[in-house]
């Protein structure tokens, strides 16, 4: 098995090239992400394009669904990112996200300042 981290492998195109090469040798592919919910969405889109996809490794969401990874309003995603143990895609263009910067600011670590515009 090969495990690809979209945010560390050079992005979606490079990750897809790695997955396609693995397929030539009958090697199944899993995705990995510790970078946050945007990279998780990107990994879900990559997974949808891989024939020999096994699963995705990511931070566990709180059971309540609260927090940075479990708040669908942060991404403007229109649905929960995870449902019944499965990553969810939506039908919006691109990655289907529209980051809610105001809501994201509440998750800044103590003492951190906002880096956006």
Is 45 among the domain residues? yes
Instruction: Read off the pLDDT of residues 29-88 as tens digits, 9 standing for 90 and up.
Output: 999 988 778 888 899 999 999 998 999 887 765 554 455 565 667 788 888 777 888 888
Q: Which conformational region is residue 11 in: left (phi greater than 0), alpha (psi within -120 to 50 degrees), or beta? A: left
Exposure b/e, 27-47, CB count within 10 A at least 16 = b: ebbbbbbebbbbbbbbbbbbb
How far is Cα 100 from Cα 105, in angstroms, rounded to an integer?
9
CB of 103 closer than 8 Å to CB of 71: yes
CB of 32 closer than 8 Å to CB of 57: yes
Is 115 among the domain residues? no
Predicted confidence (pLDDT) at residue 94 exceeds the cutoff of 60: yes
Is 112 among the domain residues? no
- The pLDDT value recorded for residue 21 is 97
- The pLDDT value recorded for residue 69 is 60
Instruction: Read off the pLDDT of residues 4-20 as tens digits, 9 standing for 90 and up.
Output: 999 999 999 999 999 99
Q: How many CA atoms lie within 13 A of 77 on its CB side?
A: 22
This prediction has a pTM of: 0.81
- The pLDDT value recorded for residue 83 is 82
CB of 27 closer than 8 Å to CB of 19: no
Domain count, the chain: 1
CATH number at residue 68: 3.20.20.120
Angle, vertex CA 15, rays to CA 11 and CA 16, nearest 5:
120
Range of the domain at 6: 2-105
């Amino acid at each position: 098995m090969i495990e690809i981290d979209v945010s560390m492998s050079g992005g979606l195109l490079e990750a897809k090239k790695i997955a396609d090469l693995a397929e030539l040798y009958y090697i199944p592919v899993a995705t990995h992400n510790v970078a946050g919910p945007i990279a998780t969405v990107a990994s879900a889109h990559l997974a949808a394009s891989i024939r020999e996809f096994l699963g995705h490794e990511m931070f566990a969401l709180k059971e309540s669904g609260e927090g940075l990874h479990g708040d669908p309003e942060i991404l403007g995603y229109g649905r929960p990112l995870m449902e019944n143990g499965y990553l969810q895609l939506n039908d919006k263009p691109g990655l289907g996200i529209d980051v809610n910067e105001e809501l994201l600011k509440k998750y800044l670590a103590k003492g951190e300042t906002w880096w956006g515009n």
